[in-house]
Amino acid sequence: MTILFFGDIMGKIGRKAVEKITPKWKKKYKPDVIIANGENLAHGIGITEKTARQVFDAGVDFLTGGNHTFDKTSDLYIWNDEVFEKKLLRPANLTPLIPPLILRGGKEGLPGEGVKIIDVKGNKLMLINLMGRVFFKEEYLDPFKMMNEILKDKPKDIKCVILDFHAEATSEKNALGWYLDGGISAIIGTHTHIPTADAKILPQGAAYITDVGMVGARDSVLGENKDAIINAFLTDSGFKHDIPEKGEAIIGAVLLKIDEKTGKAKKIERLEETIKI
């Protein structure tokens, strides 16, 4: 099973970069499924129907989330749509953050799922999305204990399991990677927008990378206007989201190859390309 995973897609320039690179990479790498972290799709904060549809139309099959998943509260109705429900994930341990919402059919609850079982050309893939807890002001459920519960209930016929671990601390990501080695196929770190040079296969067969990086403006600070961020540091003040919409975009992703019979990773390769938007 070949999987292409894009890092955090940051705003309009990131969405356009995905539109431009996906046909090229599909032809070159022939992925069976394409996944991307989408919590920054809508101008860096949240997901809307328009922004989600743009990347789905570009060829992305599934979107994972993070701490900004539900920032666009006025657009939460997209999670009540059956089409989008099948393609969107939110962190499984996000529950304490958001009060119950009215979902389709009048039920109360938290929209979306943190775990999806996907059919990939006749093979089953379990896709999981979790938040880290270190350096976040919000409170989340323990990702280590959450993974224990998820794997305890995993059907025995599912061998391929991928986790998008959306976390700030490299130590927390690294620790969870070692903890899960031998139990899942890949631990993919997202959130910091800065790629790490540690893509590897752990001793018991799990692919691991601390952070994939982002898809966004190259000459920026984490995808934001660099001058605005520098000024915020110099003046000790806040800032408004200001994301460049044109210029060079950097595309960060990983290519995974997983043995369908054993669930062990055979390859993890970090991909990076810069294109003009």
Domains annotated for the chain, with CATH where assigned, are 2-276 (3.60.21.10)
pLDDT tens, residue by residue, 33-88: 999 999 999 999 999 999 999 999 999 999 999 999 888 866 667 777 888 889 99
Q: Which residues are catalytic?
A: 68
DSSP labels, 126-186: EEEEEE--TT-SS----HHHHHHHHHHTS-TT--EEEEEEE-S-HHHHHHHHHHHBTTBSE
| Overall average pLDDT of the 209-227 stretch | 97
pLDDT at 241: 86
pLDDT at 99: 59
pLDDT at 138: 87
pLDDT at 28: 98
pLDDT at 105: 62
pLDDT at 107: 63
User: If you compute the radius of gyration of the chain from its CA atoms, what whole number of angstroms results?
Assistant: 18
pLDDT tens, residue by residue, 146-180: 999 999 999 999 999 999 999 999 999 999 999 99
